[in-house]
Amino acid sequence: MKKLLFSAMIASSLFACKSETKPAFDLANAKMEIEAANVNLTDLITKGDSVGAANAYTKDGKFMPANMPSVDGTSNLTSFWGGFINAVGGVITLTTLEVWGNNEVITEEGIFEIKSKEGVQLDKGKYLVLWKKEDGKWKLHRDIGTTDLPLATK
């Protein structure tokens, strides 16, 4: 009887431990959070907020644009986005194609399009972003994009 009671106690404590485990990581929900973060980023750029755009990156975030050196750190990202806003001042559209990862880091594959204020397409291409959780929010950690447009010829 004691063995039966002891076995029942062990089984119930194991069941209790299992019911207290963390829920499984929800990649679909994380994808929605990343898509919302992309909308926020593009809105900040459209509004001319280079500080806000830079703060969408982790503290040690890095943007690796095509045809120029990498831009890393909040101060440099603020300067980069400020220059972009002043030079282009247009609208960026980001479209997430696929995400994969876990509750700490996610890789996003997507396509982008940049249009002038007048709606003229200036660039389009593809990107990969490594997103990282920082202060409970998904932030861009490594961001690289390449154009689909042909190289300019003389």
CB-based contacts of 9: which residues, under 8 Å, 6+ apart? none
Q: What is the pLDDT of residue 9?
A: 52
Domain ranges in the chain are 25-147
Please report, in angstroms and rounded to a whole number, the separation of the first and last CA atoms in the chain: 92
How is domain 25-147 classified at the architecture level of CATH? Roll (3.10)
CA 77, 53, 68, 89 dihedral sign is negative
Does residue 111 contact residue 125 with C-beta atoms inside 8 Å?
yes
CA distance 99 to 108: 4
pLDDT tens for 16-75 read 555 567 778 999 999 999 999 999 999 999 999 999 999 999 999 999 999 899 999 999
